[in-house]
Amino acid sequence: MIDLTCRLLVLGAGPGGYVCAIRAGQLGLDTIIVDAGPPGGTCLNVGCIPSKALIHAADEFHRLRACAAGASPFGILAAAPTIDLSATVAWKDAIVARLTGGVAGLMKAAGVRFIAGNGYFLDGKTVRVETAGGAKTIRAETIVIATGSAPVELPGLTFGGRILSSTEALSLTKVPDSLAVVGGGYIGLEIGTAYAKLGSRVTVIEAMERVLPLYDEELVRPVARRLAELGVDMLTGSRTTGFDQTAGVLAIQTPAGPRDLACERVLVAAGRRPLTNGWGIEELRLAMDERFLRVDNRCRTSMFGVYAIGDVTGEPMLAHRAMAQGEMVAEIVAGKNRAWDRRSIPAICFTDPEIVNVGLSPGEARAQGLEVTVASFPFTANGRAMTMGDDAGFVRIVCRADNRLVLGIAAVGAGVSELSAAFGLAIETGCVAEDIAATIHAHPTRGEALQEAAAAVLGQAIHFRGRG
């Protein structure tokens, strides 16, 4: 028996799913969205937003500690601060509640019906949802799979007790005396840096030869220096071999041999896996690209009328990618001619300093056989960075050597995440170095470093000699 029908059914109310549903509602499509949790998914509830709240609170606390120690570059003195992490978590939870309520309100305003429960495919058009009030069967003309991803567990490091996923790490009400972070990617370093600033003794264990292995070494170098200044111990080329929950001892195989590390908590940040099981998706026998659902440039799966967006479709597993896919799919279902033709998707690491990368790195461009011109402008020559007391880092531009088309822009420095939109816009609109260099950038701002880097490509840098 069919309880409900709709034109579009979205499974998963994370960033991709809720954006897809809202846009579909705006376009007049009868839309239902299903999720067992509150709207916003991992990103809003236990990921992007909570982690940035913790990072900001840790930054503020660290600045106050510097003032108390007489180490403020601004000459500010303060009493020794303390932190009530339970109050910090309550503040974070209030932000999440406000945002989830906002998303729910936007869906309702767009005419989207939200059903709280676990959905399970019966076939390519029908989904059974187990709700608190009983099961409901929904028949839809078109279905969008937006089920997201979950943290990866490692052998011998099953979540529970002292062993945390990022979700639990963002909800601790007491700062641990010591924290081992297994995985030196962006999730591990973002949370690990925050707890180091809050007072934990942090050790990072990374299997590769350096942390943040997905970013090129030039961008990572300032972050590694800062981690060392914060007292973070980095064990690269190392793997965990087991953990004694009772004693709180983590066994590690390092290049120098076995090592036992005493730690109050262990954060496992070894990546995320797509949630392609548990929704009955496996019953549809959709084509796969290794562990991800295979989609084309319109996010269509191998089954007619079934689309997939976000983390279940592959890398990069980023909320803004999922949002863009969700909006596109809603417009396709509504009859618009859309296709996925993104030149670049910003990748941001909210470490200290932050890293932004959009488009190709110098190495990636050369690997494609392109001759490139690369130029950088350091924040040590930027007035705004100096007045903020943090001039580490730089902005870097990669251009084709023949026509100076911008292929990639990256930056490392305090607050550079806010420059990501300008970087992405330059690449999406096909800017050449002359376009950026000729655009007046407000002074004094960190954004001037983008203009100066573009000028350096042309051999016309004003406030810095050389090309990088």
Query: What is the predicted pLDDT for the residue at 459?
Result: 93
Exactly one of 62, 320, 441, 443 is catalytic; name it: 443
Decide if 84 is inside a domain.
no
Q: Are residues 119 and 219 in the same domain?
A: no
Q: Are residues 137 and 93 in the same domain?
A: yes
What is the C-alpha separation between 463 and 391, in angstroms, rounded? 15
What is the C-alpha separation between 458 and 439, in angstroms, rounded? 14
Decide if 320 is inside a domain.
yes
Query: What is the predicted pLDDT for the residue at 57?
Result: 96
Q: Are residues 295 and 170 in the same domain?
A: no
Question: For the packed helices 15-26 and 85-109, what is the interaxial angle rounded to 10 degrees?
Answer: 30
Tokens of 2: 């069919």
Q: Are residues 123 and 37 in the same domain?
A: yes
Residues 349, 52: contact at Cβ < 8 Å? no
Q: Are residues 36 and 126 in the same domain?
A: yes
242-254 burial: b if 16+ Cβ within 10 Å, else e = ebeeeebebebbe
Query: What is the predicted pLDDT for the residue at 468?
Result: 44
Query: What is the predicted pLDDT for the residue at 341?
Result: 86
Query: What is the predicted pLDDT for the residue at 466?
Result: 57
Write down the pTM of the prediction. 0.95
Q: Are residues 22 and 126 in the same domain?
A: yes
Tell me the three state secondary structure of residue 359.
strand
Q: Are residues 266 and 284 in the same domain?
A: no
Q: Which of these, 10, 177, 258, lies nearest to 110 by C-alpha position?
A: 10
Q: Is the N-terminal amide bond of 346 cis, ω within 30° of 0?
A: no
Count of domains observed in the chain? 3
Q: Are residues 19 and 119 in the same domain?
A: yes
User: In which domain, by residue range, is 35 found?
Assistant: 4-46+89-150+273-333
Residue 443 annotated as catalytic: yes
pLDDT in tens, the chain (468 residues): 899 999 999 999 999 999 999 999 999 999 999 999 999 999 999 999 999 999 999 999 999 999 999 898 999 998 999 999 999 999 999 999 999 999 999 999 999 999 999 999 999 999 999 999 999 999 999 999 999 999 999 999 999 999 999 999 999 999 999 999 999 999 999 999 999 999 999 999 999 999 999 999 999 999 999 999 999 999 999 999 999 999 999 999 999 999 999 999 999 999 999 999 889 988 898 999 999 999 999 999 999 999 999 999 999 999 999 999 999 999 999 999 999 988 899 999 999 999 999 999 999 999 999 999 999 999 999 999 999 999 999 999 999 999 999 999 999 999 999 999 999 999 999 999 999 999 999 999 999 999 999 999 999 989 887 554
